[in-house]
Amino acid sequence: MINQKRLLAEFFELIRIDSPTKKERQIADILKERLESLGLTVTEDNVGELIGGNCGNVLAYLKGDLPQAPRVLLSAHMDTVDPCLNIEPVLVEGMVISAGSTILGADDKSGIAPILEAIRTIQENRIPHGDIQVIFSVAEEGGLNGAKNLDRTFLKADFGFVFDCAGGPGEIVLAAPGQDRLNVVIKGRASHAGMSPEDGINAIVAASRAIAIMPIGRIDEETTANIGIIQGGRATNIVADRVEITCESRSRDIGKLVNQTNQMCEAFKSCAEEMGAVAEIEVIRLYTPFTLAEDSPVSLIASRASKNAGLKTKFGATGGGSDANHYNQYGVPCVVLGTGMQKPHTTEESIAERDLYRTAELIVEIIKDVARAESV
């Protein structure tokens, strides 16, 4: 039913558009034009101004011809991680890959292109549908900042589907972790490392002692933690009086998330205090976890649509966040659906050509299934 040739061509076109985080202006303008040409009412919010980007989230709405049907949200993000400039996609034996030393950008243009194609398909085939809301967000990478700063009054849908998962079409993510970012500064005291080291308090040593005693890595099935960035010291002959550490904790259980964050904070504080240093810690809750039941309305729709599209359905959980974390927090139940992207965030990123088509077909089946429901 979908136009495979058109979908693949549009995917290649979108991939070639540079869209690093907070610099999504060009692709946003193109997507606004495409959505308007399809009859959607399109607006752009002011999130770009709030986060220091050059454009906001693209918000679009298509009125349906079934007023009793639930309103559905279809969402994907526009930004891509580095290295993402001058990407040249190529098709090799059914796989789309980057021809150069860049990522491919299937994360998340493998969500955007199928959404556009599915809307064209239901219109060309005059498939009855309810209201459809589309959100193409900015700055998803590195903190979900587009969705995080979205004015929740813009959300009109009863439930939604976020196309942003490395699993294949048919994979349905029902649970995702929340994340805390810890910005830590340990302040010690400088002294000459050769002449009077005993007069100094080495902030780097205090940080290393703290890291050595805190739980890091895989904590349990739901919880992880990581030390991401360490910067400190001025010279080898100066006892380091300052070190900055950026780290994170994640968990699909909010209690475990709080506990892990507290343990990390306590380790930094206690080890600094033992050496006479001071630890200053800023904890930022980037997003909260969510869990949906397999028998929730949005989960059942995703499952039925997957089967109707001829896909093998698989429910699962993830260790990464997505815009769905915020949509769920805002009261719009959303699952995350796989698009088939492989090895995202690496220069080995790829996607099977057929998974693009299967994702678009899945979206069409979702819209058809929602149309059969009278309410939620």
DSSP letter (8 states) at residue 104:
-
Residue appearing with tokens 């910067």: 231
- Structure confidence at residue 375 (pLDDT): 53
Q: Which of 11, 28, 7, 6 is nearest to 19 (CA)?
A: 28
> Under a CB-based contact definition with an 8 Å cutoff, are residues 338 and 277 in contact?
no
**50 three-state secondary structure:** helix
> Under a CB-based contact definition with an 8 Å cutoff, are residues 110 and 169 in contact?
no
* Token couple for 310: 């001829």
Catalytic annotation on 355?
no
Q: 119: phi > 0 → left, psi -120 to 50 → alpha, else beta; which?
A: alpha
Catalytic residue among 10, 24, 45, 79: 79
Parallel, antiparallel or unpaired: strands 171-176 and 290-291: antiparallel
> Under a CB-based contact definition with an 8 Å cutoff, are residues 15 and 89 in contact?
yes
- Structure confidence at residue 300 (pLDDT): 97
DSSP letter (8 states) at residue 201:
B
- Residues of the chain with pLDDT below 50 are none
Strands (E), 138-253: 159-165, 171-176, 178-187, 217-220, 223-232, 242-251
Catalytic annotation on 140?
yes
- Structure confidence at residue 90 (pLDDT): 97
Angle at 351 between CA 42 and CA 88, to 5 degrees: 75
Residue appearing with tokens 């902030």: 203
- What sign for the dihedral angle of Cα 131, 163, 253, 182? negative
Give CA torsion, residues 344, 160, 312, 224, to 10 deg.
50
Q: What's the CATH architecture for 4-176+289-372?
A: 3-Layer(aba) Sandwich (3.40)
**330 three-state secondary structure:** coil
Q: How far apart are CA 315 and CA 295, in angstroms?
A: 11
Q: What is the CATH number of domain 178-287?
A: 3.30.70.360
Query: H or E segment at 72?
Result: strand 72-77
- Structure confidence at residue 373 (pLDDT): 78
- Structure confidence at residue 1 (pLDDT): 87
Which distant-in-sequence residues (6+ apart) come within 8 Å of 56 by Cβ? 28, 44, 45, 46, 47, 48, 49, 138, 146
**278 three-state secondary structure:** strand
Catalytic residue among 10, 107, 140, 180: 140
Which distant-in-sequence residues (6+ apart) come within 8 Å of 342 by Cβ? 106, 166, 349, 350, 351, 352
- Structure confidence at residue 342 (pLDDT): 96
Give residue limits of the domains in the chain: 4-176+289-372, 178-287
Q: How far apart are CA 210 and CA 326, in angstroms?
A: 32
- pTM confidence score: 0.92
- Structure confidence at residue 374 (pLDDT): 62
Q: How far apart are CA 103 and CA 204, in angstroms?
A: 34
* Token couple for 219: 């904590």
